[in-house]
Structure 1
């Protein structure tokens, strides 16, 4: 396959790179590299200002159908933007969930009124979203969720209203979000995938409590969210068909941004190689082989991501998650190995970690969040290979 980009793509690449060079200066210069794995809590307010800078230039929503203050570019240029964004070490996006998860879902399943209400503020970087899926006891097995929502009449424009009660967990940046899309059970007595609805819930209201979860890295970008009579302002899709909407959303999660993520992986691998050279670890044939394998696997991941980009292959997203989750976890282990005993010593008391230590600890979750490896393998087995489902 020809993985080269065309002349228009390269012209767009030059435009993106120049814009980033010009903007990542002055008051935004110190944001370079902020918000990566284990540091998602750092500089959120300043990164929100950066989000608005992106929105003003039309860089948010490049993949959306329709015009909501966003540019619309072809898939290859979406890849280019994500690659150049990562190459410039621009700050991690605080608006990722709204732009790349909720917005395409509203384009696919929302009403015209919902798209007009919610997409322009996302495109301008003015409203942040969080994801209300996982619960205690319903993480990878999401269909076991117990959050309930009772119908409570209609609001403006005939939008159905609901009162939501339950708990969500591992909710990224819930303490900063304006809205949460919540998967809840709206049909009493329903089981598993049936009777669920996809609801839009404002976070700034009585009945919503956010509690941070302190992690191994010492940071707390994840949260528990408790709903106690909170009101949902809208429903996406039909009542009881939330599972279909929720699964559609997850299919949008691993798109063009995956290739930008891999540029970040290249930078992390380069740092490990420099460490290995400086410490003499490359003299060890076993460590040298691990470094070379990491380099080769990253090349394969990029080719596979380009090969499957834009395809309808139901296993492509699961395969990509399996590849990068395990690779990134092994890279964290490799960084510790090339540093030797020094890697076990913190920078300062009581608990200050350096970049490699934070990455190593955070990467332990790479094979769990976003769908565990076990779930991804089940999807590939059942939906791609056609193997029989395990009896329940």
Structure 2
């Protein structure tokens, strides 16, 4: 149990966060409430970027980073409080999540002093945005099958290959790219020889092509590297150490900010329950039971998230963090299906007042179909849990023509 003085300090910090958000989300920023997020990243992107830079000037970005790296050294409890209150204030979705929550902690843990000096400040101040170049057309969640290659040439890495499902690549200044820098050898694991490179996006050898989603929006992209270059020093960890770096980054992706995500889920479920009451769907015992089970599932997600935060206090989260992704992704996809059941036939009709023809429940249903695929598919999460947590035998993998065995 937390000490009473800790609880008092946490209550005071929660009040501070609420007060700042109440004051800051006024004027021009007031119109940003509730904008952005998965499937809606196109909404007021420039204005949300300005909001996040305002947050940075006020000292509210990167609070969990160590003080020596420009953060506030906030503990897990304070970070959770901030993300929860941010979500409860219906503040706009963050545009710098990939830099602040994924790459920044990775560089703090595994980067060189020069890399931390070069990149952490612009992330903290929201001057440079990042995207993550992991998935490929034939190596989605199976990162060991990555085919993008990089070679040292004249003191620079030269990169050739293709990435896909790259979130916000069309807005990013930099990309951290997983590439094969050593040929695969049959006597070594498939993931041996991968490296993590920090690559500038604004160069002739990089082409970004947006992908149109079911929602009609395009926050995912294809990225083509055709002789793209980056400095030899822009490699995180040693050459061939990219798998360890990538796993650390994916662990941070399952970190503290997911508690704020769950507050957003709670808001969606509350609104859906109110809709069910208004339209009479709550009178259907089957739908009423599904709503009750959704509430129970949300409690499971939260408790699992709190338990997994212990891994962050020990450093990079371990493979156990895959449990959280597996649980929330399935729950949220089912919430989209439940929303369509509550709407009934009305859910099949386009919203003539919405620019994209979709109301919030139709958009939730369509975009949540991707929840169990992006950021690591359910199949991969189950394999990670089985093999790296439970110690079960590895799943037999069929060879893909041209891919490392």
Above 0.5 in TM-score?
yes
Equivalent residue for 2:97?
96
2:391 is equivalent to residue 383 of structure 1: no
Q: CA deviation at 1:262?
A: 0.6
Equivalent residue for 1:320?
324
CA distance in 1, matches of 2:252, 2:215: 28
Deviations 1:207-235 (A, max 9, x none): 11100000100000110011111112311
Task: Give the 3-state SS of the residue equivalent to 1:180 in structure 2.
Answer: strand
Task: Give the 3-state SS of the residue equivalent to 1:67 in structure 2.
Answer: helix
Equivalent residue for 1:128?
129
Alignment of 1:6-25 (within 5 A): 6-25=7-26
Q: CA deviation at 1:310?
A: 2.2
Of residues 212, 215, 224, the one that matches 1:214 is 212
Equivalent residue for 1:273?
273
Equivalent residue for 2:240?
240
CA distance in 1, matches of 2:67, 2:13: 20
Task: Give the 3-state SS of the residue equivalent to 1:255 in structure 2.
Answer: coil
Alignment of 1:1-392 (within 5 A): 6-154=7-155, 161-190=156-185, 192-233=190-231, 234-311=234-311, 314-348=318-352, 351-392=356-397
Q: Check the 8 A contact 2:211/2:222 in 1, yes or no.
A: yes
TM-score scaled by length of structure 2: 0.92
CA distance in 2, matches of 1:78, 1:170: 28
TM-score scaled by length of structure 1: 0.95
Deviations 1:56-84 (A, max 9, x none): 11211122124344322111000000000
Deviations 1:159-191 (A, max 9, x none): xx2011111000111111010000001113457
Structure 2 unaligned blocks of 5 or more: 398-405
Structure 1 unaligned blocks of 5 or more: 155-160
Q: Which moved more, 1:316-325 or 1:280-289?
A: 316-325
CA distance in 2, matches of 1:179, 1:31: 26
Deviations 1:11-55 (A, max 9, x none): 111111111111111011111111122101211111111110111
Aligned length: 386
Q: Check the 8 A contact 2:159/2:226 in 1, yes or no.
A: yes
Task: Give the 3-state SS of the residue equivalent to 1:386 in structure 2.
Answer: coil
Q: CA deviation at 1:350?
A: 9.0
Q: Check the 8 A contact 1:213/1:224 in 2, yes or no.
A: yes
**RMSD of Structure 2 on Structure 1 (CA):** 1.8
CA distance in 1, matches of 2:321, 2:100: 18
